[in-house]
């Protein structure tokens, strides 16, 4: 039997709100790097870890049978068919430096499919959410993606992974894309970029090498805001390209990225 979506949504939104509040009010002035992951610039702070703990304890308290996949290590199989995919702090580098573009991203999967997503953006006082088939919302109000401009006037966001070799290729792709569009943004939180496509602040977003915790909630929100979302990588594999965009920009962007070899290192 499937879990009620209203229950999953309420839990996701409340967990994201609580973690956002912890991160906003609890950031130490002397915040430092607690550990590095895939490379020396792929960092974790004590606050990423504290936020993930808060989220898994909150959700586990309500739904003890569910599974977890968290950026900071939560990995539990679960027995209910529901799995929570969590980025407790998306945009860690921004947070470390005191820049405002960071978020908390929580998705619920039912039998492997993302059915609920919540993205909390504390420094904008914005909560985005979506339930599969029911649209996308910001602070409770429905949002939609933009109408497509000509490709040459598209505002396209991207992000860069933490591996040097991949960054070489990402820079080469961005260099080719820049003269063909209005401009490029690199905000530093994939979940925020996807929500910004959903609510009409960006025409498109792409990035290679995202993990499920980066795109699961935001991807559903973008899709429910009527954007097109493609190229989602499978669990654990971080080699594919995520593309989200308004219909009319998504397709030529995906074709161009293909032509530019954005799929390869």
For 221, the token pair is 């929100």
Size of the site for ligand IPD (CB under 6 A): 14
Q: Say whether residue 71 binds ligand IPD (CB under 6 A).
A: yes
For ligand IPD, which stretch binds (CB under 6 A), given 56-64, 85-93, 169-177, 255-263?
85-93
Q: From the CB of 5, what's the least distance to ligand IPD, in Å?
A: 26
Q: Which of these, 116, 89, 72, lies nearest to 22 by C-alpha position?
A: 89
CB atoms within 10 A of CB 152: 9
Out of 17, 160, 184, 256, the residue judged to bind ligand IPD by CB under 6 A: 160
Q: Say whether residue 188 binds ligand IPD (CB under 6 A).
A: yes
Q: Say whether residue 92 binds ligand IPD (CB under 6 A).
A: yes
Q: Say whether residue 190 binds ligand IPD (CB under 6 A).
A: yes
Sheet harboring 82-90: ordered strands across? 75-76, 67-70, 82-90, 103-110, 113-121, 126-131, 136-138, 141-143
Q: Say whether residue 231 binds ligand IPD (CB under 6 A).
A: no
Report CA dihedral (246, 251, 256, 258) to the nearest 10 degrees.
120
Query: How many whole angstroms separate alpha carbon 259 and alpha carbon 210?
Result: 20
- 182 to 143, 156, 173, 250: CA distances (angstroms): 23, 8, 15, 15
Q: Residue 73, SS3?
A: coil
90 is in an annotated binding site: yes
Q: Say whether residue 240 binds ligand IPD (CB under 6 A).
A: no
For ligand IPD, which stretch binds (CB under 6 A), given 58-66, 157-165, 220-228, 250-258?
157-165
Q: Say whether residue 87 binds ligand IPD (CB under 6 A).
A: yes
Out of 66, 109, 120, 214, the residue judged to bind ligand IPD by CB under 6 A: 214
Out of 20, 70, 161, 231, the residue judged to bind ligand IPD by CB under 6 A: 161
Q: Say whether residue 72 binds ligand IPD (CB under 6 A).
A: no
Q: Which of these, 45, 101, 99, 98, lies nearest to 72 by C-alpha position?
A: 45
Query: How many whole angstroms separate alpha carbon 216 and alpha carbon 118?
Result: 9
**First and final CA of the chain: distance in angstroms?**
43
- DSSP bridge pairs for 243: 206, 230
Site for ligand IPD in 116-145 (CB under 6 A): none
Instruction: Give the nearest residue (CB) to ligand IPD.
Output: 159
46 is in an annotated binding site: no
Q: From the CB of 189, what's the least distance to ligand IPD, in Å?
A: 5
Binding residues: 71, 87, 89-90, 214
Interface residues toward ligand IPD, by CB under 6 A: 71, 87, 90-92, 159-161, 188-190, 207, 210, 214
Binding residues for Mg(2+): 71, 87, 89-90, 214
């Amino acid at each position: 039997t499937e879990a009620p979506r209203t229950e999953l949504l309420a839990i996701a939104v409340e967990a994201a709100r609580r973690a956002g509040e912890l991160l906003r009010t609890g950031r130490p002035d002397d915040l430092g790097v607690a550990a590095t992951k895939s490379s020396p610039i792929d960092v974790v702070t004590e606050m990423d870890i504290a936020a993930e703990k808060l989220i898994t304890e909150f959700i586990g308290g309500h739904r003890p049978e569910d599974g977890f996949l968290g950026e900071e290590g939560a990995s539990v199989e679960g027995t209910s068919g529901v799995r929570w995919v969590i980025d407790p702090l998306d945009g860690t580098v921004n947070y470390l430096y005191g820049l405002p573009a960071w978020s908390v991203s929580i998705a619920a999967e039912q039998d492997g499919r993302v059915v609920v997503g919540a993205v909390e953006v504390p420094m904008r006082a914005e909560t985005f959410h979506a339930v599969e088939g029911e649209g996308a919302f910001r602070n409770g109000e429905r949002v939609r993606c933009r109408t497509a401009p000509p490709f040459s006037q598209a505002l396209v966001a991207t992000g860069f992974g933490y591996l040097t070799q991949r960054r070489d290729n990402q820079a080469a792709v961005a260099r080719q894309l820049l003269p063909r569009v209005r401009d490029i943004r690199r905000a530093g939180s994939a979940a925020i970029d996807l929500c910004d496509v959903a609510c009409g602040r960006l025409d498109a977003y792409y990035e290679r090498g995202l993990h499920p915790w980066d795109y699961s909630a935001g991807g559903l929100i973008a899709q429910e805001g009527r954007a097109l979302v493609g190229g989602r990588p499978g669990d654990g594999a971080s080699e594919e390209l995520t593309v989200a965009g308004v219909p009319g920009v998504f397709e030529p962007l995906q074709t161009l990225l293909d032509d530019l070899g954005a799929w390869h290192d």
